Amino acid sequence: MSKKDDIIKERIPRHIAIIMDGNGRWAKKQGLARMFGHRQGVTTVHNITEAAAEIGIEYLTLYAFSTENWNRPKEEVDALMALLVDTIAKETPTLMKNNVKLLTIGDVDRLPKATRDKFLGCIEQTAGNTGLNLVLALSYSSRWEIIEAAKRIAAEVKDGKIAIDEINEAAISEHLTTQGIPDPDLLIRTSGELRISNFLLWQIAYSELYFTDKLWPEFTVEDLYEAIVDYQHRERRFGKTSEQVKS
């Protein structure tokens, strides 16, 4: 029996965001180098993306590499950037087969040229797909994004394109890299860490949070279904009373 059977079709979250954590610890547990964990993590990305597309999720945002991750040992950063090139080459046909459109919300200018070119090439190739939107947060952090938005809004005020009084929630959302993407309904973090690590701070204001001890390489499609079922049994009140929400 699959947890999938418990999913209420009418209440599928539109947008799921995932902090994919625990690759290094997974590798260490089997006495392997950290990169084995990252490679195994790619298999999880493949499986979760296919499952999300299949059940009709509109947006899946995956935190793949943070601004802070640039501070890891150079060998790990280089190996991760090379793994990305490899993965994109291997996975593009799967994205096409599943009608998945690739998007990014990161600072792609910071990526090495080979990684950036492959990545932007895949975004272009999948641009016409109409199924799941797979949003990769690569060289991303929320504070970076908010700083960029603040600079652009300030410049527009200076140029008289927008008045100070016109700066509202919508205006800020439109200046973030997630512009046009609905806020996540559900945020999942694997590996037992109970923190957000600079991910989508503005956008998760009202997201439902789900933490699991499973390390990312061992996170399965059944675990995804379980998180969705858990989400579907929560009452999202958005500041209102339970009675208001029910009526």
Provide the binding-site residues for Mg ion, judged by CB under 5 A.
21
Whichever of 132 and 136 has its CB closer to ligand IPE, that residue is: 136
Nearest to 27, CA basis, from 19, 39, 18, 43: 39
For ligand IPE, the binding residues in 21-80 under the rule CB under 6 A are 21-25, 63-66, 69
CA distance 194 to 116: 31
140 binding partner (options Mg ion, ligand IPE, none; Cβ < 5 to 8 Å by kind): none
Please state the closest distance from residue 237 (CB atom) to ligand IPE, in A.
29
Whichever of 23 and 104 has its CB closer to Mg ion, that residue is: 23
Residue 99 falls in the annotated catalytic set:
no
What's the alpha-carbon Rg for the chain, to the nearest Å? 19
Residue 69 falls in the annotated catalytic set:
yes
For residues 66 and 141, the answer to whether their CB atoms sit within 8 Å is: yes
Out of 21, 23, 133, 183, pick the active-site residue.
21
19 binding partner (options Mg ion, ligand IPE, none; Cβ < 5 to 8 Å by kind): ligand IPE
Please state the closest distance from residue 23 (CB atom) to Mg ion, in A.
7
- Strand segments (E) across the chain: 15-19, 59-66, 101-104, 133-140, 186-189, 208-211
139 binding partner (options Mg ion, ligand IPE, none; Cβ < 5 to 8 Å by kind): none
Tokens representing 31? Answer: 């006495």
Please state the closest distance from residue 161 (CB atom) to ligand IPE, in A.
34
Whichever of 62 and 181 has its CB closer to ligand IPE, that residue is: 62
For residues 17 and 238, the answer to whether their CB atoms sit within 8 Å is: no
Out of 47, 69, 129, 198, pick the active-site residue.
69
64 binding partner (options ligand IPE, Mg ion, none; Cβ < 5 to 8 Å by kind): ligand IPE
Whichever of 63 and 153 has its CB closer to ligand IPE, that residue is: 63
Give the distance, in angstroms, between the CA of residue 19 and the centroid of all CA atoms in the same chain: 7
> Residue 146: enclosing H or E segment and its boundaries?
helix 142-158
For residues 136 and 48, the answer to whether their CB atoms sit within 8 Å is: no
Backbone angles phi, psi at 200, to 5 degrees: 45, 45
CA distance 128 to 15: 20
CA distance 199 to 17: 9
Count of residues interacting with ligand IPE (CB under 6 A): 16
81 binding partner (options Mg ion, ligand IPE, none; Cβ < 5 to 8 Å by kind): none
Active site residues: 21, 69
Rule CB under 6 A: which residues touch ligand IPE? 19-25, 63-66, 69, 191, 193, 195, 197
